Structure 1
Amino acid sequence: MAKIAPKAFGGPVLFSYGFRPFFLGAIVFASLVIPFWVGVFQGTFELGGFFSPIDWHIHEMLFGYTAAVVSGFLFTAIPNWTGRMPIKGWPLALLAALWVLGRLAMLGISGLSPPAVALIDCAFLAAIGAMILREIIAGQNWRNLKVVVPILLFLAANLLFHFEVLTQGGADYSRRLGLAVVIFLITLIGGRIIPSFTRNWLVKSNPGALPIPFNRFDAVCLLAGAITLVVWVILPDAPATGALLYVAAALHLFRLTRWKGHRTPASLLLLMLHIAYAFIPLGFLVLGLGHTVAALHLLGIGAVGGMTTAVMIRATLGHTGRSLESGKALGAGFILIILAGIMRSAASDAYLLGLSGLVVSATLWTVGFGLLFIWLGPCLWSPKAGRKTPNQPA
């Protein structure tokens, strides 16, 4: 299908493309929410509403931060898939406002009833799913219709999260379901973009062995991962679940080796994607060994945090006319976020320089996203520029 020629957009730059408001919102939110969470955990701040601090923390990282990044990515990718104009202007601004309202409602400062909070919070993912479905159907891009399924499952997990908290006093299945959907999305979308980006770079910059194209083995990996995640959501402590986690870990590790990440050290922007994906088999393995808290942070911070960071950096630089090079500052931001995941998983109870591992991990995360804000923020709210040096703010 031929692409529609883009029309000039006369509104605010921030609402000229889907990745701009959602990536900026995700970066700012990530920079603020973890210090606030640590304050709540230590009793410095008080959380309003009816969610426990742990449930609120998990919910906001999944359905607040991650939902924003996924939405920004999809609203940027779908025009390429369908050939249709990207969503921009007031519809995009309303979606961003709906996301912000959800975050405020979840803080409990509005005094809204639990059903009202659930309605506002879940309305965002419902709207995202509806708009993505509309674009894919209108563009007759049927092969990407499968992307809607994880979004609808993510919405179902959010609804279940609210229902469990309201009826049982805490989330259980919905915690695992929400994370499982995100991990599956990474294996699905990451399995498309990582080998593709790697192949394109290797052909130009480092001739030799190339990533193996998607084939039946990748389909087996996706199926095995999906089955494992479903069983883990339902029966997290069953012996069979541990066995499935080991199998899934081995398959996805081997899948990663087929993408030739070891040939990309010269491109930190590419290496980020490979490193982030590596936390999926690592998280599966640690989860299978029974170290649940450590595994959840390896998956949540390492895989989800790392992959979303890598995608935001690459998409922002590429779509705003900057050079596809991370530079030292953005590279440092990514490394700090990865170190935050390792610290939180391996040494949360240890003390470094008189600070708990939790505080050290939170600090690494916050400084990492602070660097992203300093260097990517101007790119996101400023007009598209010509190619610039990677360490120069736009």
Structure 2
Amino acid sequence: MASPAATEPSSAVAGFFSAGFRPFFLFGALQPALMMALWVPWFLGLSHLPSAMPPVAWHQHELMFGYVPAVIAGFLLTAVPNWTGRKPLSGLPLVLLFVLWLAGRGAIACSDWIGAATAMAVAAAFLPVLALIVLRELVLAGNRRNYKVVVALGALFAAELLFFYEVDRYGFAEFADRMAIGTIIMLVTIIGGRIIPAFTGNWLRQQNPGGLPPSFDRFDMACMVLAFAALTCWLIAARIDALAWPAGMLMLAAGTAQFARQVRWAPLRTFAEPLVTVLHVAFFFVPAGFLLTGAALLSGDPGLRTAGVHAWTVGAIGGMTLAVMTRATRGHSGQMLHAPASTVLAIYVPILLAALARIGAALAPELTMVLLPLSGTCWIVAFLGFVVLYGPLLLRKA
């Protein structure tokens, strides 16, 4: 009979790969911290990576097609079993999926050594494999209403292929970058538009009686349609300059609508619980990104354009993913749905400062050498804070 010491490591590994959120949230948080630690000095000319991609393209790729898919995988592989009633992906299949994601990160970072084509093939394999896994579960359960998540994964995969083409041909990717950002922001507005009022309502019922946020209704649907139209026009405007003005007007309208939508969720009544407040703070960067991007399209100001993109990527995407990961990890590990001071100070405050500093660097380029490193440092602190505080919960046996 094997001794307890001999079986404990395998048991720990089995526990870690018992649910998708465990490996993908933990290493998904490690990856953006490491990415930023490598990218800032590379961007400032202080170091170099053996990547065939230029620094900005590598940074874009690893955020949009590295970090974000990891969080999506962790979320979907946990949510789909709840949607379908089927067993979650675990064990060896989950290990292989995780290794595929990890291989993509290494391949892109070392693409100068292994060849760009090989690196792209390895990196691009993750999203379609994840989409097929999710689609299989939905089809077997007859769950058609959630096919839209597979469509979103397909759009993100198409954006990644286009990204590789643009970088290979032009040395940078604008159309694919906009396509990826637009796809992810639509996911944030859809998923956030459901979970934020729901979680806020649940908390208000217990702690702050009064009016509750309305359920998803026709106003929300109209805001979603307007956001989709604005993002689509913004995407096409990357190739057709004449669309800059209508895209800008649509962006301003969409930003105003998303802000009005968020006001209905009673964000100012949630300050007593940071686990809820952080969702509202992160979502605020969605309308902010629309408004800044709209102003950029109408004025042609490159600073506003960069500020708008980073309001979405650092503020909305970075903030929302950390908010969801902290809440989901606490919930699935049996912790109270309350964010302690350590979570606020080590995760929520740094990611907010990272977003504000990055937007500030875009609007005040003369301060770039101060604000860009500050933003990068705060970003690293936020994600390492998640690893330190929530890693033990993710590593704990199910």
TM normalised by structure 1 equals 0.92
Q: Which residue of 2 aligns with 1:281?
A: 287
Residue matched to 2:355: 341
Contact 1:350 1:357 in 2 (8 A): no
Q: Is the 8 A contact 2:270 2:277 kept in 1?
A: yes
The sequence identity of aligned pairs, in percent, is 40
Q: Report the secondary structure of 1:383's partner residue.
A: coil
Aligned with 2:45: secondary structure?
A: coil
SS in 1 for 2:172: coil
Q: How many angstroms apart in 2 are the aligned matches of 1:57 and 1:11?
A: 31
Q: How far apart, CA to CA, are the structure 2 residues paired with 1:110 and 1:53? A: 13
The one-letter amino acid of 2:158's match is: A
Answer yes or no: is 1:361 the counterpart of 2:375: yes
**Alpha-carbon spacing, 1:109–1:119, altered in 2? closer, same or farther (3 Å):** closer
Counterpart contact for 2:31–2:67, Cα < 8 Å: yes
Q: Distance in 2 between matches of 1:156 and 1:73?
A: 21
Superposition deviation, residue 49 in structure 1: 2.9
**Is the CA contact (8 Å cut-off) linking 1:269 and 1:325 kept in structure 2?**
yes
- Corresponding residue number in structure 2 for 1:74: 76
- 2:29 — aligned with what? 27
Selected match of 1:312 from 310, 318, 325: 325
Displacement of 1:351: 4.8
The amino acid across from 1:140 in the alignment is G
1:138 and 1:341 mapped to 2: Cα distance?
41
> What do the CA deviations read for 1:89-145 (whole angstroms, capped 9, x no partner)?
111111111111000011125722322211111100011111111111111111111
Query: Alignment partner for residue 272 of structure 2, among 260, 266, 275?
Result: 266
Counterpart residue number, 1:235:
237
Partner of 1:390: none
- The amino acid across from 1:104 in the alignment is G
Contact 1:164 1:171 in 2 (8 A): yes
The residue type paired with residue 89 of structure 1 is G
User: In 2, distance between residues paired with 1:11 and 1:48?
Assistant: 32
The 5 Å alignment of 1:126-145 reads 126-145=128-147
One-letter amino acid matched to 1:301: V
Q: Once the two structures are superposed, what CA deviation does each residue of 1:176-202 show, in whole Å capped at 9, x if it has no partner?
A: 111111000001111111111111111
Q: Does the Cα contact within 8 Å between 2:330 and 2:336 map onto a contact in 1?
A: yes
Letter in 1 for 2:283: Y
Which amino acid counterpart does residue 134 of structure 2 have in structure 1? I
Change (3 A) 1:222 1:79: same
What residue number does 1:103 align with? 105
One-letter amino acid matched to 1:329: S
Amino acid in the other structure paired with 1:100? L
Give the counterpart of 1:116 among 97, 118, 127.
Answer: 118
Which moved further from structure 2: 164-173 or 296-305? Answer: 164-173
**C-alpha distance after superposition, 1:139-158 (max 9, x if no partner):** 11111111111111001001
8 Å CA contact 1:106–1:121 kept in 2: the answer is yes
User: Per the alignment, do residues 167 and 109 of structure 1 end up closer, same or farther by CA in structure 2, a change over 3 Å counting?
Assistant: closer
What CA deviation, in whole Å up to 9, does each residue of 1:255-277 have, x standing for no partner? 11111122111111011111111
3-state DSSP class of the match of 1:45? coil
Q: TM-score, normalised by structure 2?
A: 0.91
Question: Which residue number in structure 2 is paired with residue 300 of structure 1?
Answer: 313
What's the offset of the Cα at 1:338?
Answer: 1.2
What is the number of residues matched between the two proteins?
A: 374
- In 1, distance between residues paired with 2:344 and 2:13? 32
Instruction: Give the corresponding residue for 1:3.
Output: none
- CA apart distance, 1:10: 8.3
Shift of 1:12: 2.1
Match of 2:53, SS state, is coil
Contact kept, 8 Å, 1:104 with 1:110, in 2: the verdict is no
- Read off the aligned partner of 2:215 and give its amino acid letter: P
Q: CA deviation at 1:227?
A: 1.2
Do the aligned partners of residues 335 and 10 (structure 1) sit closer, same or farther apart at CA in structure 2, a change above 3 Å counting? closer
- For the 8 Å contact 2:358–2:371, the answer to whether it is kept is yes
The residue identity in structure 2 corresponding to 1:317 is R
Does the CA contact (< 8 Å) of 2:52 and 2:112 recur in 1? no
Q: Deviations over 1:277-328 (max 9, x none)?
A: 1100011101111111111111110000000000000000100111111111
Secondary structure of the structure 2 residue equivalent to 1:213: coil
Gaps of 5+ in 2: 1-10, 297-303
Counterpart for residue 380 of structure 1: 394
2: CA distance, partners of 1:109 / 1:163: 15
Match of 2:125, SS state, is helix
- Matched with 1:37 is 39
SS of the residue corresponding to residue 159 of structure 2 reads: helix
What is the Cα deviation at residue 350 of structure 1? 5.1
In the alignment, is the contact (CA less than 8 A) between 1:28 and 1:373 conserved in 2? yes
Equivalence for 2:4: none
